[in-house]
Amino acid sequence: MPVPLRRALSAAILAVLILPLGCSTALTSKREEDRRMSSSDDVSRSTHRWGIVIHGGAGVIKRESLTSEREAAFRAVLTEALQAGHSILAHGGTSLDAVTAAVRVMEDSPLFNAGKGAVFTHDGKNELDAAIMNGRTREAGSVAGLHHVKNPIVLARAVMEKSPHVMMIGAGAEAFAKQQGVELVPESYFYTEERWQALQRALEAEKKQQQTPSEQGQPQGPSTFWEHPAGREHKFGTVGAVALDQAGNLAAGTSTGGMTNKRFGRVGDVPVIGAGTYANERCAVSATGHGEYFIRYTVARDICSRMEYLDLPLLEASHQVVMDILVKAGGEGGVIAMDAQGNVAMPFNSAGMYRGYMGQDGVPSVAIFKEQ
């Protein structure tokens, strides 16, 4: 039999064998998807031609561990961030400006793990990462390992707009900040007692685990650190925003202190374009969660690629990645995403995610827990 014919025949046999399997998997996952979506707050927003979506981190955020005063404080800053971005969009401003403004508000609040309020590294320092991306042009800027930049999102934007590069790190990035007149602050600016205590608890837990003899009678290694540097206190708290402006352009931005007890110059997913932050002409994504998984699974770009290559709607593409692929891999967290039609998705696989949305009607909707 000629080779092309043989190939065609084996492809046909394979298709017959695989098709029923593929169909049933698709049906099961569709049903599963419907079940999940009905309990989430994703909404088709295509009646809104423009708008902004934000997050303030995902993780173990339970209703019973949040006092009503604290919950009100979170809701107030999230609303303020939405309003900052929305007023720019309402005046015909760009999605890039809206994202920058919203992220700045959250960076300046000690409640979130970005800018003031960033978590501490193993060595008791604050080390900040951020990124921004312009969906229309695919220009991007990112920064990592900062110790003195008050608003890392502003520096990421300067890298994108004022340098020929995409990513700058550490002392070099801070020298660039100085050159560009980006505000620098002493390291003590980032200190908050709450984050300091979180580091002490993580260090204590790690020490205890190392001292606990394993079943073989040997002391255990620092496995908690490798699994999750903050031990059981998975509160990520990174901030991010995605926006669609009146001209139909998308942008995404994210800013973080990383993970409590991180070490060795660890850089997470936030400044890795395509992992924690990504935007193109059809989709914009900002993520929060256990960064190592978001890097390995190139989460933000994967969501946009599924839309592009598989022609999936935003909701389905983002749910597939966050609620299926990441869950199977053990990657905790969530994303906010927007498409060029103004649809919004906010899937997360953790107990909660600080999040909010404001469309052209100017009505803010803010949520924290799974069930509102």
CA end-to-end span of the chain: 64
Interface mask toward ligand ASP for 51-80; x: CB under 6 A: ------x-----------------------
Does residue 259 bind ligand ASP (CB under 6 A)? Answer: yes
Q: How many residues bind ligand ASP (CB under 6 A)?
A: 15
Judged by CB under 6 A, which stretch of 187-195, 245-253, 285-293, 336-344 contacts ligand ASP?
285-293
Rounded Cα distance, 127 and 129, in Å: 7
Pick the catalytic residue: 224, 238, 260, 288?
Answer: 238
Rounded Cα distance, 40 and 42, in Å: 6
Query: Beta-strand (E) ranges in the chain?
Result: 51-59, 128-134, 140-146, 167-169, 239-244, 250-256, 277-279, 283-289, 333-339, 344-345, 352-359, 364-369
CB of 295 to ligand ASP, least distance (A): 8
Active site annotation includes 277? no
Q: Which residue, 56, 136, 69, 70, is CA-closest to 103?
A: 56
Per CB under 6 A, the list member of 268, 342, 347, 352 interacting with ligand ASP is 268
Which sign, positive or negative, has the C-alpha torsion 346, 350, 351, 352?
negative
User: Which residue, 113 or 126, has its beta carbon nearer to ligand ASP?
Assistant: 113
CB of 130 to ligand ASP, least distance (A): 11
Does residue 293 bind ligand ASP (CB under 6 A)? Answer: no
CB of 213 to ligand ASP, least distance (A): 31
Rounded Cα distance, 166 and 158, in Å: 10
User: Which residue, 269 or 339, has its beta carbon nearer to ligand ASP?
Assistant: 269
Does residue 236 bind ligand ASP (CB under 6 A)? Answer: yes
DSSP character for 252? Answer: E
CB burial string 33-49: b at 16+ within 10 A, e below: beebbeebbbbebeebe
Q: What letter represents residue 113's amino acid?
A: N
Per CB under 6 A, the list member of 276, 331, 342, 364 interacting with ligand ASP is 276
Judged by CB under 6 A, which stretch of 34-42, 138-146, 266-274, 314-322 contacts ligand ASP?
266-274
Judged by CB under 6 A, which stretch of 139-147, 202-210, 220-228, 231-239 contacts ligand ASP?
231-239
Rounded Cα distance, 100 and 334, in Å: 20
Per CB under 6 A, the list member of 229, 231, 253, 289 interacting with ligand ASP is 289
User: Which residue, 300 or 307, has its beta carbon nearer to ligand ASP?
Assistant: 300
Secondary element (H or E) of residue 208: helix 193-211
How many separate helices (H) and strands (E) can be counted in the chain?
11, 12
Does residue 113 bind ligand ASP (CB under 6 A)? Answer: yes
User: Which residue, 89 or 149, has its beta carbon nearer to ligand ASP?
Assistant: 149
Does residue 269 bind ligand ASP (CB under 6 A)? Answer: yes
CB of 2 to ligand ASP, least distance (A): 54
Alpha-carbon distance values, 117 to 59, 100, 207, 209, 331 (Å)? 16, 18, 25, 27, 24
- In the complex, the residues that contact ligand ASP under the rule CB under 6 A are 57, 113, 236-238, 256, 258-259, 268-270, 276, 288-289, 291
Active site residues: 238
